[in-house]
Amino acid sequence: MRDFRQLRVWSSAHELTLALYKTTRSFPSDERFGLTAQIRRATVSIGANIAEGCGRRGRKELARFLIIAAGSASELDYHLIVAVDLGFVERSAYERLASHLAGVRRMLATFIRKVATQTA
């Protein structure tokens, strides 16, 4: 349908993924299969679902995958709260990451509305 690499929302989600991979490297090793894996899975899911939706046929399918990406963004939001509350992420780093995530979520919401109005 379209090249996901050209989308600002995908680029921003990808940058967030790279930042979170770097951030989670410093998590305790006993969290490797816990919170570290959950954060990485959720952040990768955002960009991956945008990409998959762009590769599908039709706007309804694109909208469905964008909604899944938005759900993963909400899940990631909670995981970041847990990480800061457990002391795995410093408050200043959390604020930066949370702000970046909020921007991705806004772009996703806008994109979902745009696609939904085009399918109606």
- Residue 63: give its domain's CATH number: 1.20.1440.60
Q: What is the spatial distance between Cα 39 and Cα 33, in angstroms, rounded to a whole number?
A: 10
Average pLDDT over residues 96-109: 98
Structural tokens at position 117: 């109005």
How many separate domains does the chain show? 1
Structural tokens at position 86: 């457990």
Query: In the block, which residue shows the tokens 């990451």?
Result: 97
* 2: number of Cβ within 10 Å: 10
User: What domain range is 70 assigned to?
Assistant: 4-119
pTM: 0.94
High-pLDDT (> 70) share of the chain, %:
98
Average pLDDT over residues 46-57: 96
Res. 47: pLDDT tops 90 = yes
- pLDDT tier at 53, thresholds 50, 70, 90: very high
Q: What is the pLDDT, as a whole number, of residue 22?
A: 98
3-state DSSP call for residue 7? coil
